[in-house]
Amino acid sequence: MTQGDGPTSLLARFVAEHQREQIPEPVLHAARRALVDHIGVSVSGSTDDATRRARDAVAAGESGGAATVVGVSMRASPPFAAFLNAFASHVLDLDDVYNPPGTTVHGSCSVWPAILAVADTRTVAGRDALASFAVGFEVETRVAHAAGQTHYDVGWHVTGTSGHVGAAAAAARTMGLGRKEIEHAIAAGATQAAGLRIMAGSDLKSMHPGKAAMDGVLAATLAAQQLTSGAKALEGDYGYLAVMSDEPAPEKISAGLGETWNLTSNGYKLYPSGSLTHPMIDGVIALMTENDLVPGDVTGIDIRVSAPAARFTDLPQPSTPMQAKFSLRHCAAAAAIFRRLGPDELAHAILTRPDVVDLRDRVKVVSDPALGKQDADVEITLASGQSLAVQVRGNRGTPSAPLDDDELDAKFRELVGPVLGAERTERLLATCWRLDELDDVSELLAQTVPHEAPGRRHDASDG
C-alpha cells in the first residue's frame, strides 16, 4: 500500500492482495460461524411468505439461470439469485448483527449471497470463499464506521448502504479480479448504495440486503468487462461519505487495515426482532423464569433503554408481525406471557390476543441516555405490589455475552430441521463448518434445497 493511496484505492488493494494465509485463524473461524448462521436463517427464511412472493416476482421475468436459489428447486441468474437469497436471509430478522457504538450492520446478508451466487457459476474453493467473506465483511463495516452515527440517524439503513460496497468487493474478489477492477467494482457498489430505515416493519426492509447483494454481483460483473468509475468514490468531494454522512471519517477505513478485524466482534441473534429490543427481552425472560412467574402475576412492565431503542422501537400498537418485530412493548408483553420470543409470538393471532394486548398497554418505555444499545433496565410490578428488577448490560449473542459454537448449531437445527429434515440438516451443518475443505462451493449450495435442482451448473469454461 503506497502512501499516496486514498481509502478507496487502499480497500481495493487490500481485497485484491490480502492472501488467505494472512488472515488470522480466529477471523476465519468467525467467518465459519457467520456462514453457519447465514445458511440457517436463509433456509428458514426461504419458507417465509414474503420470500415466496419475492420469488414469484423474480420468476415472472427470469427464464432460468445458473445459480441456486436457497430452499427451493429454482435457479436464477447470479444477480437475481443473490437478491433472493439475501432477501431470505434477512426476512426473519434473525441474521447476524455487527452493532458497535456508531453504526449497526447486518454483515452476512449482503456479502455471503453475492459470494455464493458468483461461486455457483464457476469453480470456487471453499477456502477462497471464506477469505472473500472475511475481507468483504471488513470492507462493509469499515465503510459503515466511516459514515458513522449521522449516516444512521438521518435514516439510512446501513445494511443496504455499506452492504453494497462490501458485496461488490467480495464478489469481485470471488471472480478473481485485479486491484484496479476491484476499485471500479467498489465504486460501482458505492454509487448504487441505498436503503431507507422507514422500511423497518415492512416486507421491503429485506429488499435492502437483496439489492446490495444483487448490485454487488452486477458491480463486479461490469468491472470485469473493464467498465470504469470515477476516482475516489468513497472519499471524494461528491463521493459516498461526503454525500451520505454529516461527519465523514474516511481515516476509519484505513486505520489498522489488515491488522485488526471487525468480524471477530460480530453478533448473533436469538430473537427474530430488531436488535435494539433484545436486551429488554433478555431481562423480561430472566425475571419471569428465575422467579417462576405466571402472566397473571404481572401488572406492569417498566423498561429503560438507550435513546436509539426508545426512538426507533417504541411502537405501542403494532398491527402486523413485521411491525411487532420493532415494538418494545409487544416484545415485552409476549416475552412475559410465553417466556420466549420466536416467530410464533409475533404472529397475527398473538397480536390481537386479549391478554397480550392488555399487558402490552401496561408496558412503559423510558429513554435513558446513559444506556448503550445493548443495555436495558427492566422492572416488573406484581399484583402483590412487589417489584422485581434486572439490569442487562450486553444481551446474549453480543461480543460481551457471545453464543458459543454449540449454541449456533442449536439455532441452525431449530431453523433448518423443519425445512430439510434432521438428516439433511446435520449434513448441511457439517458442510458449513468444513467449508475450507470443499474444492467447489456449489457442493454446499446443492445441500440447501429440499430436492435436487434441475439443470447442470454452467461453468465459466463452458463458454
What are the pLDDT digits (tens) for 134-166? 999 999 999 999 999 999 999 999 999 999 999
User: What pLDDT, on the 0 to 100 scale, is given for residue 72?
Assistant: 95
Do strands 75-76 and 67-68 pair parallel, antiparallel, or not at all (unpaired)? antiparallel
User: What pLDDT, on the 0 to 100 scale, is given for residue 455?
Assistant: 38
Give CA–CA dist 171/113, Å, rounded.
Answer: 9
**7-270+403-462 shares its CATH topology with 275-393:** no
pLDDT at residue 298 above 50? Answer: yes
Cβ contact 123:440 at 8 Å: yes
Superfamily of domain 7-270+403-462: 2-methylcitrate dehydratase PrpD (1.10.4100.10)
Cβ contact 116:85 at 8 Å: yes
CATH fold label, 275-393: 60s Ribosomal Protein L30; Chain: A; (3.30.1330)
Mean pLDDT of 367-388: 97
Helix, strand, or coil (residue 297): helix
Please tell me the pTM assigned to this model: 0.94
User: What pLDDT, on the 0 to 100 scale, is given for residue 63?
Assistant: 75
| Exposure string over 179-207, b if 16+ CB within 10 A, otherwise e | eebbbbbbbbbbbbbbbebebbbebbbbb
pLDDT at residue 459 above 50? Answer: no
pLDDT at residue 354 above 90? Answer: yes
Give me the chain's average pLDDT, please: 95
Confidence of residue 4 (pLDDT cuts 50, 70, 90): low
The cell for 237 is: 468531494
Category of 66 on φ-ψ map: left (φ > 0), alpha (ψ -120 to 50) or beta:
alpha
Give CA–CA dist 322/90, Å, rounded.
Answer: 12
Mean pLDDT of 208-214: 98
Helix, strand, or coil (residue 19): coil
pLDDT at residue 458 above 50? Answer: no
Domain boundaries along the sequence of the chain = 7-270+403-462, 275-393
Give CA–CA dist 446/184, Å, rounded.
Answer: 32
What are the pLDDT digits (tens) for 45-68? 999 999 999 999 999 988 789 999
Mean pLDDT of 289-303: 97
Mean pLDDT of 4-29: 95
What are the pLDDT digits (tens) for 226-282? 999 999 999 999 999 999 999 999 999 999 999 999 999 999 999 999 999 999 999
pLDDT at residue 397 above 80? Answer: yes
DSSP string, 137-195: HHHHHHHHHHHHHHHHHTTB-HHHHHHHHHHHHHHHHHTT--HHHHHHHHHHHHHT---
What are the pLDDT digits (tens) for 419-436? 999 999 999 999 999 999
> Rounded to 5, what percent of the chain is helix, strand, coil?
55, 10, 35
Tell me the CA distances in angstroms from 331 to 35, 38, 157, 393, 423, one per residue in order.
Answer: 28, 24, 22, 18, 33
DSSP string, 87-116: HHHHTTS-S-BB--TT--B--HHHHHHHHH
Cβ contact 12:180 at 8 Å: yes
Cβ contact 38:411 at 8 Å: no
At 367, give phi and psi (nearest 5°): -85, 135
Identify which of 342, 338, 343 has the alpha carbon closest to the alpha carbon of residue 360: 338
